[in-house]
Amino acid sequence: MDINTTRTQFPVLDQQVYGKPLVYLDNAATTQKPLCVIERERDYYLHENCNIHRGVHYLSQKATEAYEHARQTVADFIHAKEAREIIFTRGTTESLNLLATSFEHYCIEEGDKVLVTAMEHHSNLVPWQQMVQRHQGQLLVVPMNDKGVLELEQYEKLLKEGPKVVSIAHISNVLGTINPVKEMIAMAHRYEIPVVVDGAQSIAHHPINVQKLDCDFFVFSGHKMYAPMGIGGLYGKAEWLEKLPPYQFGGEMVDKVSFEKTTFNVLPYKFEAGTPNVGAALGLETAMQFLQGLDREEVERNEAQLLTSAIEKLSEIEGIRFIGEAEQRSGLVSFIIEGVHPYDLGTIIDKMGVAVRTGHHCAEPVMTRFGIPGTVRASFAMYNTMEEVEVFVNAVKKAAMMFR
């Protein structure tokens, strides 16, 4: 894979900030978009734009076909059994809110529990927390050790408390830890508990096979995998999606409506009320086809090399502390430097052209766990280079020197 050729597909990377070439290492927040994705969405608005599922006319049928084709592509990409198991949403956050609300109406009773882990993004914590609290219930939390690895014996104990749902991150957006989700799913299933996997940080970097994982639900955002913002997905096993009640109500999700009674549409439409973001769904399809066209093992290897090199080079900095040192990790490195506030560090290296994220990364409990205000996080994507890692580490070294 020639990274320089790949980079030509991402025009936004080719720019200067503050007179320095942009080094974009904030990919865990959002990835940049390749030309084919941008053009697909533009093309839709130039030639195909129409509301779907409703019209008998040519354009409406064309747009409907394209949208349903995109659904099939998503199903194939994550190896779902059927396209009707894919619900288009705005992204991970909406998918998780959908699940929390649907589970609440389906089966949550007074005092019920939901199990999450200590490393969840707020999106996979607050919806469940608010939901159980409405029923005087409780959030159970799988603890992690100092390296940012989940404690599975504790997980097993918590499963015995009978949570109604388990919802876990595939990869932590702060620590980079790859959680052993396959094993965790099998453990939960022994207690007949359904499992939601938050794949926001995994889907761009690793092939996903929901049938092999045997997860009951898998959620993700398009914008973190080279697709447009405002589109994402929820995979659910058909048997679960059939049972769960709809999340939002309105057009398209209904079967028959009278003032007395409403019956609902079949899957997947039952969960897609209102006009969806068709253009973005087509962009998502194109992003998936773009990824499928690459040697994904090679992409994974390149990203792993960037990470190893960044960690090695950063380790030379006096007073550095890595947050998240799991053996199984991917995509990003989080750290703090003694005597330097992460925000200051991020601001200084920004002036050197380097874009990283600083703060709590929407995971405040992780910060509390490690007793820190925030971290600096560099996260990698397919278009990052070893030279960029070098520029980044040198920028961090220079910034750290200013505080010595």
**Residue ranges that bind ligand PLP, judged by CB under 6 A:** 91-93, 121, 123-124, 169, 173, 198, 200-201, 221
Q: In whole angstroms, how close is the CB of 207 to ligand PLP at the nearest point? A: 18
Q: Are 229 and 93 in contact (CB under 8 A)?
A: no
Q: In whole angstroms, how close is the CB of 92 to ligand PLP at the nearest point? A: 4
Q: In whole angstroms, how close is the CB of 212 to ligand PLP at the nearest point? A: 21
The residue among 9 and 123 lying less far from ligand PLP, judged by its C-beta, is 123
Q: In whole angstroms, how close is the CB of 379 to ligand PLP at the nearest point? A: 10
For residue 294 the two structure tokens come to: 């690459």
**Cβ-proximal residues to 59 (8 Å cutoff; 6+ apart), any chain:** 48, 49, 50
C-alpha 275/C-alpha 216 separation (Å) is 26
The residue among 74 and 395 lying less far from ligand PLP, judged by its C-beta, is 74
Region of residue 362 (phi > 0: left; psi between -120 and 50: alpha; otherwise: beta) = left
Q: Are 225 and 204 in contact (CB under 8 A)?
A: yes
At 102 the three-state DSSP class reads helix
Q: In whole angstroms, how close is the CB of 255 to ligand PLP at the nearest point? A: 30
The residue among 52 and 231 lying less far from ligand PLP, judged by its C-beta, is 231
**Cβ-proximal residues to 346 (8 Å cutoff; 6+ apart), any chain:** 356, 357, 358, 376
Q: Are 169 and 119 in contact (CB under 8 A)?
A: yes
**Cβ-proximal residues to 213 (8 Å cutoff; 6+ apart), any chain:** 181, 182, 185, 197
Q: Are 225 and 31 in contact (CB under 8 A)?
A: yes
Q: Are 187 and 166 in contact (CB under 8 A)?
A: no
Catalytic residue among 36, 50, 215, 362: 362
Query: What single letter denotes the amino acid at residue 374?
Result: G
The residue among 205 and 237 lying less far from ligand PLP, judged by its C-beta, is 205
The residue among 41 and 340 lying less far from ligand PLP, judged by its C-beta, is 41
Q: In whole angstroms, how close is the CB of 360 to ligand PLP at the nearest point? A: 12
The residue among 229 and 320 lying less far from ligand PLP, judged by its C-beta, is 229
Torsion angle of alpha carbons 103, 242, 232, 50, nearest 10°?
Answer: -130
C-alpha 161/C-alpha 205 separation (Å) is 34
- Residue 36 appears among annotated catalytic residues: no
The beta-carbon contacts of 398-402 under 8 Å, at least 24 apart in sequence, are 398/348, 398/352, 399/340, 399/344, 399/345, 399/348, 399/349, 399/352, 400/317, 400/318, 400/319, 400/337, 400/340, 400/345, 402/348
Q: In whole angstroms, how close is the CB of 331 to ligand PLP at the nearest point? A: 10
The residue among 232 and 353 lying less far from ligand PLP, judged by its C-beta, is 232
Tell me the catalytic residues.
362
